[in-house]
Amino acid sequence: MPTAPPYPFGQPDPQLLRLGDGFFDAVTPAQFPVARLRYRNQGWATRMGLGELTPEQWQRHFWAFEPLAGNLPQPLALRYHGHQFGVYNPDLGDGRGFLFAQLRDHATGRLLDLGTKGSGPTPYSRRGDGRLTLKGGIREVLCTERLEALGVYTSKSFSLFETGEMLQRNDEPSPTRSSVLVRLSHSHLRLGSFQRLAHLGDKQRLRTLVDYACAAHFPHLPSPSPESLLREVSQRLAYLFASYTAAGFVHGVLNTDNLNLTGESFDYGPYRFLPYYDPEFVAAYFDQNGRYAFGRQAEACRWALDRFAEALSLLSPITPLRRVLCDFEPTVFAATHAAFLRRLGVAPKDPVADALLVAGCLCFLEASRLPFDTFFFDWYGGAASESRARSSPHRASYTGDKFAALRRQLAQYQPTHPQRLSEPYFQRPGPITLVYDDIERLWAPIAAADDWSLFLQKVSELQLLGQALGHAPAQSLATSPIP
């Protein structure tokens, strides 16, 4: 296909080509029979200089995958390994996706990657069809919208096309409709990218990858080294998993190939948002031992970072690398309290008081079985929301001696943004949620009658939530998760 003329505001910067041979494979996108655009992230398209693309141009680039002008001449499937549920797997890699383009963010100058999901088979598909179900694509769009609204550092769904194929799947009624997703993030590199090179004993390419990662993604580091890279990644992931706790989010599959360098959450398969606070809650039916349960996600991340350190030990002694990771747990601890208070809309006081308040809230949530999102909705701003909480459909939960003690703790905290209580979101009778049943309800009319009204309504509601909490669309990727 001929390459389209340059777009006036895009800043292509295909940095990954600097790595050279041995890190990726050029691949050919699938040819799909149908193009039905179901989601277009106009906010981020505008920010990246692609907002003026016509519908025809959008289809050419994000359905047929015609290269963007001045960008990667052909999609690249990245090579990586990883631990899956604790077992090392050398047969991974981009199996149904690829890196399509790299551009610069106008606002920050940071590198942004456009990657795909469901774009066809690659050398790493392991006999799979390389496709994505339409329901899977919808679930990912909704997940990224909600996480962005809650201030979680997440990849963003950029485009979703329905593609007209009927797929066979074991985990949902088949045949089922198909889609192709384009997502936006700051890095396509995973911990497993480094594990692969260490597993192969390829010290030279591992050094090249460390140098590239530091230069492309962390230019503020004083010198590129395994220790500085590990410290940066560890800190970013600590903040990510702290934000998971405040969001009540369970990723489901936290394998080392699902953790990236920049600390962004991505790749949403069997995720769940908590209906009630439960540390043992799991998202994936196949996680029978609860390895990635809600209350164990930070622990799983720490384990993955240990494996990352072991991979980097091909370049540096393991002892100083392990010493770097000693900061992970304290960072998660402090960041969790900060994230919890941010979601509650109150200003921190001191570390001890903040820890006691968060512990009191979690004990109350576990004992009362109050819906997780309801607590943050009813008590946003602390005591400033008492009249709202007392008129809540769940007001009966806010009685008794145990809650009275928590109420006294809340009274000591000042609201950070009391003006937000006048936002339309807080005039609703209850919170906007995205629990499992919510997704099933909006999928049913799509499956039965191609009725997208509930999906579009939910996307609008999630953006309303983000505006109320100060996390408007096209902001979360621009803000570093590390203060």
The set of catalytic residues is 257
* Exposure b/e, 73-98, CB count within 10 A at least 16 = b: eebbbbbbbbbebeeebeebbbbbbb
E strands of 90-204, at which residues?
99-104, 111-117, 132-133, 156-167, 176-185
Closest CA relative to residue 143, chosen from 412, 430, 435:
435
Cα–Cα distance, 439 to 133 (Å, whole number): 14
Q: Could you write out the three-class secondary structure of 366-413?
A: HHHCCEHHHHHHHCCCHHHHHHHHHCCCCHHHHCHHHHHHHHHHHHCC
Distances, alpha carbon 113 to alpha carbons 27, 237, 437, in Å: 17, 19, 32
Nearest to 463 by CA among 448, 445, 477, 475: 475
Closest of 381, 469, 464, 471 to residue 153, by C-alpha:
471
Q: Which of 431, 418, 420 is nearest to 461 (CA)?
A: 431
Helix (H) or strand (E) holding 213: helix 203-217
Coil, helix or strand for 478? Answer: helix
How far apart CA 95 and CA 439 sit, in angstroms, is: 26
In three-state secondary structure terms, 165 is: strand
- By CB atoms closer than 10 A (0-12, 13-18, 19+), residue 326 is exposed
The token pair at 264 is: 């962004």
Strand 24-26, strand 82-84: pairing:
unpaired
What single letter denotes the amino acid at residue 412?
Q
336, burial (CB in 10 Å: exposed 0-12, middle 13-18, buried 19+) = buried
Closest CA to 302 of 254, 335, 269: 254
Task: Reduce the DSSP state of residue 279 to 3 states and report it.
Answer: coil
Long-range own/partner contacts, residues 138-142 (CB < 8 A, 24 or more apart):
138/38, 138/179, 138/439, 138/442, 138/443, 138/446, 138/455, 139/268, 139/271, 139/439, 140/181, 140/183, 140/268, 141/39, 141/181, 141/459, 142/434, 142/439, 142/455, 142/458, 142/459, 142/462
